[in-house]
A and B are shown apart, each in its own frame.
Chain A
């Protein structure tokens, strides 16, 4: 995903003269082509995220379209105050990109995990909170974010995530898509972890379980039209996110349910339990440990069907 991001930023920099890219001293060589296209519009702001965020809001208030890029915890919770005041309150059209989100950098330890970002940032008025599932969704959302007058936060993965969306998908901010249709259970998720749900849905299909998988694209704004449509088709829902269980997508959907379709559907939530992770391994290991890998998900689907 991060390579797709860098390539798209280079294309955007060539297209529009108001685009700037601010990096928190990461992405060595990754932005070489951007720097060739627009050397005066690339800023390595150093390891100083609070300042970087405020600089971006100042640029945006002067008419530029700054995009901030660094590892997720450092571009979110590290500088939350600057996001809240400079970006959200001012409605400065900054695009904040957190790379290696969720458990992408699982082996780097809790300092590099981002399992609270969506929960915290979706409380800020006027800030889009996006979590694209693949590069196609990322590019569509990035292009739209650059063109909206509002600020956007986007959490992305790292390298090599599979493409999950078909060519007919309607991608963008607040746009949900079915990645796989089904009839008995709906998995509603965000982010690259949806690849695990798709594999699990394949696994349980021969047993006669029909599982649909949807990417919501983010937690704010929610595609409520899509959700209402799905509520007419599915009563059993499972939310999936590579994020803490408190406050993220699952919570957002419970809030939506309480204020719309009520008990006509039942929602179970899957995410990272409410504790820091000390048993370190790579992302695959960590997902397995937490019951978020395809094998565990297949078992969860099975259990839900048999209830």
Chain B
């Protein structure tokens, strides 16, 4: 059964979960040669907060029609989402031993629903997840279900016009059950996101589009939880949480170094990364 209210976990518990996930992520990236490590490391706290504190979901019944929906609109973050779903109990952790192997469903992007429990949409192409989450939120309104819908976006993804099309429609339709979370790590594949496309003032843009916009530290569990609570309290506007993050967060030599968008660690780098990811 879906829990009536999200579970309560201490910041220490959440931090421990985040650390475990980072260890597994970096290890998988090295052994299976899976890229987008920097993009995955920047959204670990956001995913942990959402999956352990916010979503009304039942991993034992992943297709419950009343469940909340989470769409990883930045689909290249799939390597960390897969780790999250395994740890949250959607499938056994052993399934990830196939990660990156020929014939496996666990590769660089989420497949369509039906292959991996907990995956709501195939989002490898950017700019799709938020509009699809909007469609799901509108569906829940028509069906009178308690479902809330969440989409995690990257800042680079906000280059896509479809994101802003969705922003306009969500505001006119007053879809207050929709929350966009932006992993604002300031980088996209080949440059600073602010230099490629003029995103700033980022939160103010969303505000101007009719959204309830909040800016937070995307690695601070208490700030994330407070922002999600504020989004839940909205009764008219859709919400966006512009979460300031650090690409490569948690591994010093990866932090804010955009080479880790495509690179995967060699054995020495993996050992160095894991040494930093020990409980402190």
Contact = CB atoms under 8 A, between A and B. Distances in A.
A51 B112 contact: no
A58 B131 contact: yes
A61 B113 CA distance: 9
A43 B168 CA distance: 13
A62 B125 contact: no
A58 B168 CA distance: 17
Interface in B144-174: 147, 161-162, 165-166, 168-169, 172-173
A224 interface: no
Most buried by A among B139, B147, B166: B139
Interface residues of A, number: 30
Interface in A17-60: 17, 20, 40-41, 43, 45-46, 48, 50-51, 53-60
A181 B184 CA distance: 66
Interface string A180-216: 0000000000000000000000000000000000000
Most buried by B among A17, A41, A66, A82: A82
B113 A59 contact: no
Contacts of B136: 58-59, 61-62
A160 B143 CA distance: 37
A64 interface: yes
Interface stretch (A83-91, A98-106, A281-289, A292-300): A83-91
A85 B138 contact: no
A90 B142 contact: no
Given A57-B135, A89-B122, A90-B112, A62 B140 contact: yes
Contacts of A66: 135
B6 interface: no
A64 B137 CA distance: 12
A252 to B, nearest CB: 26
A57 B134 CA distance: 10
A58 B112 contact: no
Contacts of B141: 40
B41 interface: no
B65 interface: yes
Interface string B34-66: 000000000000000000000000000000010
Contact of B142 (A41, A46, A48, A85): A41
A59 B143 CA distance: 10
Contacts of B112: 89-91
Interface in A73-131: 81-82, 85-86, 89-91
A43 B113 contact: no
Contacts of B69: 62
A55 B168 contact: no
A125 to B, nearest CB: 12
A232 to B, nearest CB: 42
A115 to B, nearest CB: 25
Given A59-B138, A89-B122, A50 B165 contact: yes
Contact of B128 (A20, A43, A64, A85): A85
Given A43-B138, A54-B135, A86 B169 contact: no
Most buried by B among A41, A59, A63: A59
Contacts of A55: 131-132, 134-135, 138, 166, 169
A50 B165 CA distance: 8
A82 B121 contact: no
B133 interface: yes
Contacts of B183: none
A58 B132 contact: yes
B169 A50 contact: no
B132 A45 contact: no
Interface of A: 17, 20, 40-41, 43, 45-46, 48, 50-51, 53-64, 66, 81-82, 85-86, 89-91
Interface of B: 65, 69, 112-113, 120-122, 125, 127-128, 131-143, 147, 161-162, 165-166, 168-169, 172-173
13 contacts: A46-B172, A48-B162, A48-B169, A50-B131, A50-B161, A51-B168, A55-B135, A55-B166, A62-B136, A62-B139, A82-B131, A82-B162, A86-B131
Top 8 A-B pairs, shortest CB-CB distance: A58-B135, A54-B131, A51-B165, A62-B139, A58-B132, A48-B165, A55-B135, A50-B162
